[in-house]
Structure 1
Amino acid sequence: MKEFNAKNRIVKYLDGEATALEKKQLLTWIETKKNQKIFKEFLKSQQLITRNYKAIDSEAAFNDFLDKIHSDKKGLNLKSIIPYIAYAAIFIGVFLSTFYFINKESPIKSSLYNNEVSLQIVNGSSDHISIVEDQVVKTKAGAKFAIVKNGVLKYLPTGNSTKSIAYQNILRVPYGKTFKVILSDGSLVHLNSGSVLTYPSVFQKNKPRKVFLEGEAFFKVSKDIHTSFLVNSKSSSTKVYGTEFNVSEYLDENSADIVLVEGSVGVKKNLGIKDNEPYKLITPSQKASLRKNAKDFEITDVDVKKYIGWKDGILIFQNDRFADIKKKLERHYNIKITNNYHEINSLRFNGDFQNDSIEKILNTIKTHTDFSFERKGDTILINNPKNNEMN
């Protein structure tokens, strides 16, 4: 197998698109020391990053990858054997830099009950910084590049310098929290509960400003007619120059949703290295939804308040299924809801709640649909009241 074809198969395998024959060929190819060296260099060039490695370490990453391959010869499936991998496919001068989270389960869930917002500075420092008080953020070498003040992380302006080192940053917001960050270009990003934002500490001059989102965030992008702003997620890409919009794509949801508040944005499927399709424009008060396995976006007119109310502490439900409401409540209140009354999952509800307790919300829903619930610490159990009567 030629080196180019090997890389092609690795990329297809990471994307979950490799055929059974291609998986078998990859397994055979990876056995030789020569090809192992090629694969390690491939990891370096693509900056394979996982939460298990505190720095980019192609040797450790490769050993882990190889061990997993040998343990799964019958059914090669990276998505199931390395659940927390995140990698950045960077082909300098050839392909766009697009971040992918290929895990099926969100890395934020590992810290579901961790109440601290954390920042990881890749390349600059391997430490995870807990953002719980005002502080100055520095690189490992001691260079000051951001500050935390009044609960907002703000990066120092650089004028889109070509000389500044662009450290990769990974900002994680746990369940039960929201958080604001002002990027080096002045763009404001308001992250919702259970979200992860990956971005550079400084955007390079005359190059697209790129970030990667897992979860949900409201963006207020600083206008720059010379450089676009790209929000990439696992399945979607949103391109803007200066506007306000909301992007939501949690790994446990069935769709990616982009809602435009003002300005103009373009949306398209994120196809990675095969990404050459044009952007579709949406106008204010429109939502572009891309359901899993769908061929294209569905664009509809919406009430934007429903989709951006969360940043002001408002939960708005408009004809929403209880199963979807349950997910939002879990993220918003950092609590686990176990629903043993499955019949209510498909029922739909309406309601606006601001700074209300989760008990008040559930009691309000109960006025329309009879069910019982009890709270035990950080868990709420929902049951069919008829079952309780029988016990």
Structure 2
Amino acid sequence: MNSNSEIKQLLQKFILNQCTPEETNEVIAYYKKNKLTDDFPSVEEVQTLLGEMPKMNQQTADDIFMNILASSKENETTIAIAPKKSNFRKHISIAASVIILLGVGFFYKQNLQNKTAEPKFDFKSTDIVLQLENGNVQIISEDNSVEVRDSKGNVVGNQNGNKLVYETGSDVEKVSYNTIKIPYGKKFQLQLSDGTLVHLNSGTTLKYPVKFIAGENRQVFLDGEAFFDVAKDKKHPFIVNADKLNVRVLGTHFNVSNYPEDAMTDVVLVEGSVGMYHTSEEFDAAKNTILKPGFKGSFNRGNAQISTKPVLTDIYTSWINGGLTFRNMTFKNIITKLERRYNVTIVNQNEKLANEKFNASFSDESIEKVMSYFDDIHGINYTIKNNQILIK
């Protein structure tokens, strides 16, 4: 991170709780290095920055602020907050940014002191990161080939290029998990130990067993978007946990989209059959929503209701081959998806445009082509400089 503009871009994402863990580490590292110099943005600059950004909703602001307070409590740091409740949400973003600027170095230092026995790792926000069951981190480079080993040194998987393949077999008694994190601007393929193939979209995290245990369900945990080609195994149902939604299958092809900015978790079924149900429930084929091929099931995170409708599945799976599709989506949500897809920062100063809804489909187009499209149909005023797009 070499310039003030770059750290400002990351601060935008940090304050809106959109940073990947790797980007968070970059902010922390930069703060530790420059907190006593003029290079680090001042609180006033952050306030100006926040004024240029779309207003975050009340719930998001509250969540970010409470998370920061929780972190401070865990590290025995006291932060005094004025008791004026009327100004709490009005200044929530600024308060969060001030705490980040003043406290993040201390939190990080405390975490290092508590984990001195753990190895240190250097990775960038553009790296694919694999966290092993013992907490160690391994960087996945698409132009490389590496072995993945468990805590005992046994080879459990092999990565070659854009695909990581785990060894088959179920000779373990205790489940252990790996977690893979795909950065903005990249996609990746993962073959699980049962033969299930998973296509992972940008900005996605998947937690999964290194090996599945005989007699138990095959369960993985998804944050983001993935297309699953599930290996058939009638004795061991495959379950995708997407926040408060479980998707249960035996063998099928389906897409799950579970990004934080969306009000719905969408499941699109290409082939086979899947059941959708709340994580607090037990699966019941007679009561739960059973999706048929060619249908999309949408889980409303607000009221936990599930609705279904027929769709053209190709629209929702085109991302695997570089496509990009928006259906009745607000421009502010489109911005988030463009940032994730192209690894850019977009600042929108046109609040009216933020709530406009669009339908659009793109093949494997550049960000310049996509922005040009929105300019053609809406006449937006924007500039692109480096990896930052400003919409006025």
TM-score category by the smaller chain? Answer: 0.5 to 0.7
Tell me if 1:129 matches 2:139.
yes
Q: 1:224-373 maps to which residues of 2 (within 5 A)?
A: 224-271=233-280, 275-276=281-282, 278=284, 279-373=288-382
Q: Is the 8 A contact 1:235 1:256 kept in 2?
A: no
Q: Scaled by the length of structure 1, what TM-score is found?
A: 0.67
Q: Return the offset for 1:251.
A: 1.8
Secondary structure of residue in 1 paired with 2:232: coil
Q: Return the offset for 1:146.
A: 0.2
Q: Is the 8 A contact 2:133 2:151 kept in 1?
A: no
Instruction: Tell me the distance in 2 between the aligned counterparts of 1:64 and 1:338.
Output: 30
Q: Return the offset for 1:381.
A: 0.4
Letter in 2 for 1:138: R
- CA deviation string 1:174-199 (max 9, x = no partner): 00001100000000011111010001
Q: Is the 8 A contact 2:182 2:200 kept in 1?
A: yes
Instruction: Tell me the distance in 2 between the aligned counterparts of 1:122 and 1:70.
Output: 33
Secondary structure of residue in 2 paired with 1:122: coil
Corresponding position of 1:118: 129
Tell me if 1:218 matches 2:227.
yes
Tell me if 1:195 matches 2:204.
yes
Secondary structure of residue in 1 paired with 2:314: helix
Q: Is the 8 A contact 2:328 2:359 kept in 1?
A: yes
Q: Alignment length, in residue pairs?
A: 284
Instruction: Tell me the distance in 2 between the aligned counterparts of 1:173 and 1:350.
Output: 26
Structure number having the greater helix percentage = 2
Q: Is the 8 A contact 2:184 2:203 kept in 1?
A: yes
Letter in 2 for 1:298: S
Q: Is the 8 A contact 1:152 1:182 kept in 2?
A: yes
Instruction: Tell me the distance in 2 between the aligned counterparts of 1:358 and 1:151.
Output: 22
Q: Return the offset for 1:67.
A: 4.7
- CA deviation string 1:289-342 (max 9, x = no partner): 122321311111112122111011011234433222222211110111111112
Instruction: Tell me the distance in 2 between the aligned counterparts of 1:311 and 1:230.
Output: 21
Secondary structure of residue in 1 paired with 2:369: helix
- CA deviation string 1:270-305 (max 9, x = no partner): 23xxx3363320111111112232131111111212
Q: CA, structure 1 residues 277+204, in 2 after alignment: closer, same or farther (shift >3 Å)? A: closer
Aligned-residue CA RMSD (Å): 2.9
Q: Scaled by the length of structure 2, what TM-score is found?
A: 0.67
Segments of 5+ residues of structure 2 without an aligned counterpart are 1-69, 86-95, 100-121
Structure number having the greater strand percentage = 1
Instruction: Tell me the distance in 2 between the aligned counterparts of 1:282 and 1:69.
Output: 49
Instruction: Tell me the distance in 1 between the aligned counterparts of 2:326 and 2:197.
Output: 26
Tell me if 1:144 matches 2:155.
yes
Segments of 5+ residues of structure 1 without an aligned counterpart are 1-61, 82-110, 384-391
